[in-house]
Structure 1
């Protein structure tokens, strides 16, 4: 826990000795968290990964159904690219994406990487991402050894 400078002087006093021996605190954060706290943090992070993975898989399934229904309606294969869908959802902020990436991150990230991903169908982007997050958030199975 961080303690502000004013509170630190109030508790320690001007001489540097604690005002009361019953007051015990840490001035700097404890970077060595206990095993219980780290297991709790990891389990919460895995839970967030699982929820996000299920959400991304749901988006991928909905996009796949949408692509299939539009392909049936048009009597030809139609796969909506990710860039088109993002532009439809965010028409004001999507055009700013290219200059922001080129100016603030790196110009080579836009042309070979982001443009390639924006050409992919929506389900082809979200399905592997969802599966990756589900794999990262999977619960560890404990194997019990049974002796015959």
Structure 2
């Protein structure tokens, strides 16, 4: 399970860096702050997906889950949302740290 989490973390973090570089070049070209929302990134990569996900969420789950929650998440910059998901997978995949207890007598 840890290996899968680490692989997913690397993939999500790499995608986050790619989206950050794309927004960075757009910022340099526009000479202003540019943040591409996650919704437009998904719409450009997978056309028609957001509409079908919206219908599935509203029909199978609760309509309030789509409107205030997921639309807010889709309005945030894509690199930030995907980066946070990657960090969560990295935390899930980290190894158990062995902490060495140091006593005062060792100093």
Report the TM-score when normalising by structure 1: 0.65
Structure 2 Cα separation of the partners of residues 92 and 80 of structure 1: 18
Q: Aligned runs of 1:43-54 on 2, under 5 Å?
A: 45-54=1-10
- Point out the structure with the larger helix share: 2
Q: CA RMSD in A?
A: 1.6
Structure 1: where are the runs of 5+ without partners? 1-44
Matched, 1:100 2:56: yes
Deviation at 1:142, TM superposition (A): 2.4
Higher Rg of the two aligned structures: 1
Match of 1:84 in 2: 40
Structure 2 Cα separation of the partners of residues 138 and 69 of structure 1: 32
Structure 2: where are the runs of 5+ without partners? none
Render the CA deviation track for 1:77-112: whole Å, top value 9, x for unaligned: 111100001011111333212111100111110011
Report the TM-score when normalising by structure 2: 0.88
Structure 1 Cα separation of the partners of residues 58 and 91 of structure 2: 32
Runs of 4 or more above 6 Å deviation = none
